[in-house]
Amino acid sequence: MTSAYRVTDYFPTEDTLNSGFFTHLDEIEAQAPGALVYCQNIHYLHKALAAVNVACILCPENLKDEVRDTEKTIVFCIDPRTTFFRLYNSFNQDAGYATPPPPIIGDNCKLHPSAVISPLARLGNNVEVSANVVIEGPVEIGDNVFIGSNAVGGAEGLITLRDGDGTLMMVKHQGGVRIGSGCQVLAGAVIARSLFQQPTTIHDNCQIGIMSNIGHGAVIGKNCVVSGNTVVAGRSRLGAGVWVGASCSIAQGLVIGDAVQIKMGSVVISDIAPHSVVSGNFAINHRANMTAHLGKLK
């Protein structure tokens, strides 16, 4: 989406405040101006109203009295999330190539014959792609990257939406994945493609462990280690040099600071300050966690 779209061409005028235009659909932290976003509660409404790149907000009807003194376009609806993704699907239903071009492959790449590589993919130099790897959609891979067997880059992420009869609605992600140079994505790891303009990003020199899952729109900073069987949920941000132990779960939308250590089996449900060491379910300061644990053994 690159043109400007008139809001009242898609939503009833009587439900619209400050009729205007949008250029693309995005999340509240949109990096480009002109975004149409949705909010479900007052917290995210206030964030959207304050976001400079948000032009239009789909807002619950019960929050009408919270909207004051804004030049942004507001559309009031019963279910902003479902309304948003119906529009998302309508814009993207014709996306694709009539005659797909070949993928762009750099020099000295080793591609197993069983690998499936999207025509939208871009691989740098010295990339090794192992058996049964699937690279779907617009996936950009830097130089000197290893992709282990059965890994998937650009998978569809989980969004649960249902019609009135309970039928699941399919939302096909239109964003991409970017894997930096020097990374290792080990066997069975799955990296979901993003929903919006900003790709799910693995920065340079990261290791993504066996059977790990990186959610849509997540960002993994440089030199991180995400150990095996770990879930990093969508839109989470890991700083540089973060170490995540095996079988951890990091909830969606969190910010994990630089050089954080998350011990094996931790369940993280809140932001973590840089250089912290945490463990447990739910994860807290590791020293305090171990002190409490050892006290129980006495």
- Taking only the tens place, the pLDDT of each residue in 239-272 is 999 999 999 999 999 999 999 999 999 999 999 9
Q: Give the up-direction half-sphere exposure of residue 280: CA atoms within 13 A in the CB hemisphere.
A: 15
- CATH 2.160.10.10 intervals, the chain: 104-294
Topology (CATH) of 104-294? UDP N-Acetylglucosamine Acyltransferase; domain 1 (2.160.10)
For residues 226 and 44, give the distance between their C-alpha atoms in angstroms, rounded to a whole number: 29
Structure tokens at 107: 């020099």
Q: What is the mean pLDDT of residues 164-171?
A: 90
Q: What is the mean pLDDT of residues 180-205?
A: 97
* pTM score: 0.89
Q: What is the mean pLDDT of residues 59-66?
A: 91
* Residue % of the chain over a pLDDT of 70: 95
Please check the confidence at residue 49 and state whether its pLDDT lies above 80: yes
CATH number of 5-92: 3.40.1390.10
- CATH 3.40.1390.10 intervals, the chain: 5-92
At 259 the pLDDT is 98
Give the max Cα distance, the chain. Answer: 70
At 1 the pLDDT is 47
For residues 37 and 216, give the distance between their C-alpha atoms in angstroms, rounded to a whole number: 17
Span 98-126, pLDDT tens digits:
566 788 999 999 999 999 999 999 999 99
Place of tokens 């058996």: 131
Q: What is the mean pLDDT of residues 190-218?
A: 97
Least confident of 22-26, 66-70, 80-84, 290-294: 290-294
For residues 95 and 24, give the distance between their C-alpha atoms in angstroms, rounded to a whole number: 15
